[in-house]
């Protein structure tokens, strides 16, 4: 081992919302903290894929855009000056004889740490693209897999494909500004949050269920119409459009972390009530954490982070009593 490696109490792998709040709480517990993020910026996928998406499921915040939430989380995370490493993808793990860990990234850089908190979300997400041979021709045109600017669709006829939270959220966000919004889903029952589904059903959004897209009609660059087919009857309909947004979900890939030896289930890490994985000293929070009755909300991850930090502190100093700590106890915040 390189003797010059600096030892950290906690290394948080993942700089998304949950990782950022975890870093803040780790600082409150006066633990020497490092964040490693494979993207070249903090905030994870939220500011990149959903900068204008409204988030409403965080207590005390009526509504906030993904970009604004990220800005505030980054500022909060930096309160206690954690070391931040960007643009590095974690690959291998080695447990040392002293019980500490060496984490290596894709460029060969090594990081020395007492504990690890995985906050990688679902890892590297690969977008589930429209399964039609002609679809790639339109990806540089008006076939979209993400919405980054709402105003781009103002006054247009927009068709969305998908029935989960993302498709439903965008249908509701676009309905007031687009000329027409249609949503196609292969099932009759939507899988999104009930209140959002009700909002969509009570709006002007045109619903086509159970239908799927079977053909794109256009000039090879811009889609002008789509043909949809009824799942049960085979009936086909033609829908004209200006823009097509496909939200069919993601494929999960944890990359090399999946080979670390932690117990896994459905591509995620199994954890106990302290958020510890099957390897002592390694914890998982946010979407990567798997336990009974898991709640996949950002607010849920904000609870898991402090639980993991507290257990990590006990792991480092098992004979020391862990006192309760709240932000109102602290008088060392930066002004």
Number of H helices, E strands in the chain: 6, 22
Residues 209 and 304 in one domain: no
Residues 236 and 170 in one domain: yes
Residues 119 and 28 in one domain: yes
In this prediction, the residues of the chain whose per-residue pLDDT falls under 50 are: 1, 334-335
Q: Would residue 149 count as lying in a domain?
A: yes
User: What CATH number is attached to the domain comprising 29?
Assistant: 3.50.50.60
Report the pLDDT value the prediction gives residue 109, as an integer from 0 to 100: 95
Q: Are 147 and 168 in contact (CB under 8 A)?
A: no
The H or E element spanning position 66 is helix 66-77
- Which of residues 232, 248, 264 is at a domain's end? 248
Torsion over CA: 280, 282, 283, 287 (sign) = negative
Q: Which residues pair with 238 in a beta bridge?
A: 227
Residues 233 and 261 in one domain: no
Q: Would residue 335 count as lying in a domain?
A: no
Q: Give the residue numbers spanning the domain of 193.
A: 129-248
Spatial separation of the C-alpha atoms in residues 200 and 169, rounded to whole Å: 9
Q: Would residue 1 count as lying in a domain?
A: no
Residues 215 and 323 in one domain: no
Q: Would residue 30 count as lying in a domain?
A: yes
Half-sphere exposure of 207 (CA within 13 A, CB side): 20
Q: Would residue 266 count as lying in a domain?
A: yes
Residues 209 and 120 in one domain: no
The first and second tokens of residue 322, run together, are: 């862990």
DSSP state of 334: -
- Which of residues 220, 248, 276 is at a domain's end? 248
> What average pLDDT does the structure give for the chain?
91
Q: Would residue 334 count as lying in a domain?
A: no
Q: Would residue 172 count as lying in a domain?
A: yes
Residues 180 and 197 in one domain: yes
Residues 121 and 268 in one domain: yes
The first and second tokens of residue 333, run together, are: 């915040």
pLDDT (tens digit, 9 = 90+) per residue, 73-112? 999 999 999 999 999 999 999 999 999 999 999 999 999 9
Residues 260 and 311 in one domain: yes
Report the pLDDT value the prediction gives residue 335, as an integer from 0 to 100: 47
Residues 145 and 241 in one domain: yes
For 124-144, give the DSSP string.
EEEE-----TTGGGGTTTTEE
Residues 139 and 240 in one domain: yes
- Which of residues 248, 263, 298 is at a domain's end? 248
Q: Would residue 2 count as lying in a domain?
A: no
Q: Are 18 and 124 in contact (CB under 8 A)?
A: no
Residues 117 and 151 in one domain: no
CA dihedral 180, 181, 184, 188 (to 10 degrees): -110
Number of domains in the chain: 2
């Amino acid at each position: 081992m390189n003797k010059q490696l600096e030892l950290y109490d906690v290394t948080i792998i993942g700089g998304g919302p949950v990782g950022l709040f975890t870093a803040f709480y780790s600082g409150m517990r006066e633990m020497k903290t490092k964040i490693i993020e494979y993207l070249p910026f903090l905030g994870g996928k939220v500011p990149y894929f959903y900068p204008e998406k409204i988030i409403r499921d965080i207590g005390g915040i009526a509504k906030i855009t993904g970009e604004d939430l990220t800005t505030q989380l980054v500022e909060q995370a930096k309160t206690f000056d954690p070391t931040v490493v960007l643009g590095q993808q974690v690959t291998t793990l080695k447990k040392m004889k002293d019980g500490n860990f060496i984490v290596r990234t894709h460029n060969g850089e090594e990081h020395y740490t007492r504990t690890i908190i995985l906050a990688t979300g679902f890892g590297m997400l690969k977008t589930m693209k429209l399964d039609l041979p002609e679809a790639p021709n339109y990806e540089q045109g008006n076939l979209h897999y993400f919405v980054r600017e709402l105003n781009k669709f103002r006054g247009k006829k927009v068709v969305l494909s998908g029935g989960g939270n993302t498709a439903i959220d965008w249908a509701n966000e676009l309905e007031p500004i687009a000329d027409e919004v249609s949503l196609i889903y292969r099932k009759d029952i939507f899988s999104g949050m009930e209140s959002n589904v009700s909002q969509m059903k009570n709006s002007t959004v045109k619903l086509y269920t159970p239908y799927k897209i079977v053909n794109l009609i256009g000039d090879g660059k811009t889609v002008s119409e789509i043909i949809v087919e009824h799942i049960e009857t085979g009936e086909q309909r033609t829908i004209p459009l200006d823009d097509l947004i496909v939200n069919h979900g993601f494929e999960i890939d944890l990359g090399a972390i999946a080979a670390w030896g932690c117990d896994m289930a459905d591509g995620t890490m199994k954890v106990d009530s302290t958020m510890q994985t099957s390897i002592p000293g390694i914890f998982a929070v946010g979407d990567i954490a798997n336990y009974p009755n898991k709640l996949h909300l950002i607010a849920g991850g904000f609870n898991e982070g402090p639980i993991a930090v507290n257990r990590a502190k006990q792991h480092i100093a098992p004979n020391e009593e862990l006192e309760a700590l709240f932000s109102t106890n602290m008088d060392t915040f930066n002004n």
